[in-house]
Structure 1
Amino acid sequence: MLDPNLILTPLHYIYLIGVIVILSVMILRKDTPLVCIAFLFLLGLAGLGSVTGGIMTIFNAILYASKEFMEVIATIALVTALSKCLKDLGSDHLMMIPMSKVMKNPDLTWWVLGLTMMVFSFFLWPSPSVALVGAIMLPFAVKAGLNPLAAAISMNLFGHGFALSYDLVIQGAPAISAGAASISPSDILTEGRPLFLVMGIVTVCSAYLLNRGHIKAGIVNLPVVNSREERPKAGKTALVMAVLTPLLFLADIILMLAFDLKGGEATSMVSGTALVAMSIGSVLGFGKQSLEKVTDYVTEGFLFAIRIFAPVIIIGAFFFLGGEGISTIMGQQFKGGIMNDWAVWLAQHAPLNKYAAAAVQMVIGGLTGLDGSGFSGLPLTGSLARTFGTAVNASIPVLASLGQITAIFVGGGTIVPWGLIPVAAICGVEPMELARKNLPPVILGFLATFAAACFLL
């Protein structure tokens, strides 16, 4: 029910200006945390009427965002710790050897490489998976005749696109979108599933068809990433962990299906399993040194996670004021959220409908992804999904899924060149060339996803 007595205050105008300025800074490919901090202060100053209120709003908003993101941060930290342990043991190499045996020709190799990257990205996220899959499988892929640029496209679209936007297992992206939209992550994964599948399938299939004539490799020079000297000797412990690790995660999947574990419960299973597997590997592989090794792996994992999410926390702190988080951050006298009020006002004064709301979600998601993060815009798209869904009586999970898909496909590392560097570096290709090759299939995926969304709203 729209509030007919809604009155816009200076707080609303400051927030709207802040959103526009932040999006503009993102488009200019500049970092936004300083801008977010400045507008957090201005919002606190205007809303609470004092300098102290402005300063406290900055901290309270960051603290609120930190609590919202902590589950995701811990999950990424623990699975990264596991990947570092497997690499030190040499288990990562053993886990990849069976895959190399099915790489018979460039076309088949393109799909095997991409699907392997997708599976590992579901469990480990793309960033650690790039090193895990790319550094070990790429030499086998090139030996089978696959062009390194085609390999980069495959790894990139399957991992940083399909897997990261869907985020089925770790559920970091759905958790952020759902938190801002005041719904459950399982709502996004269930109602948005057709959109994630359409986007992923259309994108990877069109990428394969558009680049099929260039998949076969010519003469290439790969970076030295997998020399025998750099690889640890694979002993009995490496073999045990290479077998045990996938079995443990397979058991997780079976238990999730058997007991209908979703959202936070599913994330807890994956995170706990990663920590247990890392601990077992450390004890078996390093014996008396395992106490120090576990500490090192956990520390490295959290450093990696915090490095990724530090700017996201600051950006999220600003955008959470647009939703129901404002009551916790600035006090119970503030209800509903600033962005929600703007959407209600827009619904009262503009001819907004379901399809226009879907288009706006995709545009805003794409714009927020221009900073190369992919996750920084999810609080905004999630908040907008709640607002627009309520205003035009459309599916909030579907709208949140649209924003999540475009934000991550653009910013997660498939379109913007400054987000493509890890994959481009390990494949020995130019980031700009990889971005240029990715653009047509991703655009086709966006169009197909929007068409599908029109039937689901």
Structure 2
Amino acid sequence: MDIELTALHWVYLAFIVFILVLMARRRDTVMLCVIGVFALGLIATESLTRSVSGIFNGFIYATKELAGTIFIISIIVSMSRVMIKTGINELMVAPLTRFIRTPAIAFWGIGIIMLVSSFFFWPSPGVALIGAVLLPVARRVGLPALGAAIAMNLFGHGIALSGDYVIQGAPKLTADAAGLPVSEVMEASVPLVIVMGAVTTIAAFWMMLRDQKNGKWRDGLVASADRSIQASDERIALPPRVRRWAAAIIPLLFAADVAAMFAFDLQGGDATALIGGTAVIILIVLALLAHRGEGLEETTSYLVQGFQFGFKVFGPVIPIAAFFYLGDAAFAELLGSHLPAGSHGIVNDLGVALAETVPVNGIVGSITLTVTGAITGLDGSGFSGISLAGSVANMFATAIGSGAATLTALGQVAAIWVGGGTIVPWALIPAAAICGVSPFELARRNLKPVLIGLAVTTVVAMFLV
């Protein structure tokens, strides 16, 4: 059925183009998104007061949609901090260090440990949890500090974060923007994440060995490699027996959560709630054990630190998400019904119009989503632009008639790999800092492997759309 495109459609599309241009120029897009919400409100309602109110209401709507994601990440960071201070993280990974005997085992071992850790703790806290323990071991067996940073970075901020199968922050954002269930996007992302991860890490490892053999390797050290981002933290002494029990029980609790997800078919918000509740309980127990007599106050302090981190990460995301939510269900709720009869939302209408005017297929759609995702990642967040990737995926899937979940997952993978912390220098600081290497040198080493991985993953997506 033909849908007449109105000024709302064209203005929304124009703002998407402006946002992409700003991202490509590495400029902040928050203000432009706020202006976009105001402009759409003014056109739709022809009321200055309602359009101004729409800005704030859009923030509220986006915050409600993102609340679960913000909370789970904040809580995980809070729990991670008390684990670092008490040294429990060191005991958790200590048994694995005995198997690291060669540079190759160190590279892949650190990567896999980082991958598993990042699924449950998110990559930045994961770096802090394992980096200080595994880095000295890796260097003793001949793996350069920069090599360890590459492994932690690609497996954590790349593979784990682009899939985000446990905390489910990334798929939640893209699925909402695309109007799809989270489970569909996660399922569609599995082959893409596997291909992207395998190609990128193998390419990075091969290039490292090649450059070391040819004498072209640069360590990029800017500080002592034994220097840790935890160094300034006050360490808290726990009885050795308590630390050992905690180091054994905590992984078992999260393993039990994963088992419960499969047993009771928990997905999306239910799965996130289970992980979050477990993390809160662990945080409270550890705070009470570590701070005798002050556990009540310290629990609050850890939570505050975690929420400061969470809102620092997601502060720019909320206004951006508010704009992109207007492309779908949020429009009617925030601004009323001001779209043409038969409309299914601004994004869907644009997709239908695209199908009628431009020859769109899986090849064009896949390339477009990879480029869009990569551009949105240039701001160094990885999260601030994946709502745009979801919206664009929805448009192309509507035009093609299939492949919505695959295109959405492809945009997510591209955005996270570029902006989540693998090739944008200012997003690499956690791994670079704990390894004592330059984030710019780390970004340079990651660039070719990530670009090769994106190219191969895009080709694979063409056959899946």
**TM-score interval w.r.t. the shorter chain?**
over 0.9
Q: Is 1:329–2:334 an aligned residue pair?
A: yes
3-state SS in 1 of match to 2:4: coil
Match of 1:289 among 286, 294, 298: 294
Q: Is 1:68–2:65 an aligned residue pair?
A: yes
Counterpart for residue 9 of structure 1: 6
Pick which of 110-119 and 8-17 moved more. Answer: 8-17
Q: Is 1:277–2:282 an aligned residue pair?
A: yes
Match of 2:452 among 439, 444, 453: 444
Counterpart for residue 428 of structure 2: 420
Q: Is 1:262–2:293 an aligned residue pair?
A: no
Q: In 2, Cα distance between the equivalents of 1:442 and 1:229?
A: 34
Contact 1:44 1:53 in 2 (8 A): yes
Report the Cα offset of residue 213 of structure 1.
Answer: 3.8
Match of 1:351 among 341, 359, 364: 359
Counting only pairs closer than 5 Å after superposition, residues 80-229 of structure 1 correspond to structure 2 as: 80-213=77-210, 221-222=224-225, 224-225=227-228
Q: In 2, Cα distance between the equivalents of 1:164 and 1:318?
A: 24
Contact 2:432 2:442 in 1 (8 A): yes
Report the Cα offset of residue 215 of structure 1.
Answer: 6.6
Deviation track 1:196-230 (CA, whole Å, cap 9, x = no partner) reads 11111111112111212457999963252266996
Contact 1:147 1:215 in 2 (8 A): no
Show structure 1 runs of 5+ residues with no match: none
Deviation track 1:256-279 (CA, whole Å, cap 9, x = no partner) reads 222222222211111111111111
Q: In 1, Cα distance between the equivalents of 2:136 and 2:318?
A: 38
3-state SS in 1 of match to 2:237: coil
Q: Is 1:382–2:387 an aligned residue pair?
A: no
Contact 2:199 2:449 in 1 (8 A): yes
Q: In 1, Cα distance between the equivalents of 2:226 and 2:8?
A: 53
The root-mean-square deviation of aligned C-alpha atoms, in Å, is: 2.0
Amino acid at match of 1:107: A
Report the Cα offset of residue 366 of structure 1.
Answer: 0.7
Amino acid at match of 1:100: T
Counterpart for residue 379 of structure 2: 371
Show structure 2 runs of 5+ residues with no match: none
Report the Cα offset of residue 336 of structure 1.
Answer: 2.6
Deviation track 1:162-193 (CA, whole Å, cap 9, x = no partner) reads 00001011111011111111111111121321
Amino acid at match of 2:147: A
Pick which of 172-181 and 335-344 moved more. Answer: 335-344
Match of 1:429 among 437, 445, 456: 437
Q: Is 1:48–2:45 an aligned residue pair?
A: yes
Q: In 2, Cα distance between the equivalents of 1:244 and 1:101?
A: 21
Instruction: Give the % identical residues.
Output: 43
- Tell me the TM-score normalized by structure 1: 0.95
Q: In 1, Cα distance between the equivalents of 2:20 and 2:31?
A: 13
Contact 1:148 1:428 in 2 (8 A): yes
Report the Cα offset of residue 159 of structure 1.
Answer: 0.5
Contact 2:369 2:389 in 1 (8 A): yes
Counterpart for residue 362 of structure 1: 370
Structure 1's consecutive aligned runs of 4 or more residues displaced over 3 angstroms after TM superposition are 213-221, 226-234, 332-335
3-state SS in 2 of match to 1:251: helix
Counterpart for residue 27 of structure 2: 30
Amino acid at match of 1:133: I
Q: Is 1:233–2:237 an aligned residue pair?
A: yes
Amino acid at match of 2:264: F
Report the Cα offset of residue 382 of structure 1.
Answer: 1.1
Report the Cα offset of residue 283 of structure 1.
Answer: 2.1
Counting only pairs closer than 5 Å after superposition, residues 391-406 of structure 1 correspond to structure 2 as: 391-406=399-414
Contact 1:86 1:241 in 2 (8 A): no
Amino acid at match of 1:95: M
Deviation track 1:29-80 (CA, whole Å, cap 9, x = no partner) reads 1211111112211111111112112201111211111111111001001111
Q: In 1, Cα distance between the equivalents of 2:232 and 2:162?
A: 35
Q: Is 1:79–2:83 an aligned residue pair?
A: no
Q: In 2, Cα distance between the equivalents of 1:287 and 1:250?
A: 29
3-state SS in 2 of match to 1:211: helix
Counterpart for residue 303 of structure 1: 308
3-state SS in 2 of match to 1:8: coil
3-state SS in 2 of match to 1:384: helix
Counterpart for residue 349 of structure 2: 341
Contact 2:85 2:233 in 1 (8 A): no
Counterpart for residue 453 of structure 1: 461
- Tell me the TM-score normalized by structure 2: 0.93
Q: Is 1:320–2:322 an aligned residue pair?
A: no
Deviation track 1:344-402 (CA, whole Å, cap 9, x = no partner) reads 21111111112211111111111111111101111111122222212211221111100
Amino acid at match of 1:282: A
Contact 2:132 2:226 in 1 (8 A): no
Q: In 1, Cα distance between the equivalents of 2:270 and 2:159?
A: 23
3-state SS in 2 of match to 1:192: helix
Contact 2:347 2:394 in 1 (8 A): no
Change over 3 Å in CA distance of 1:36–1:426 after alignment to 2: same
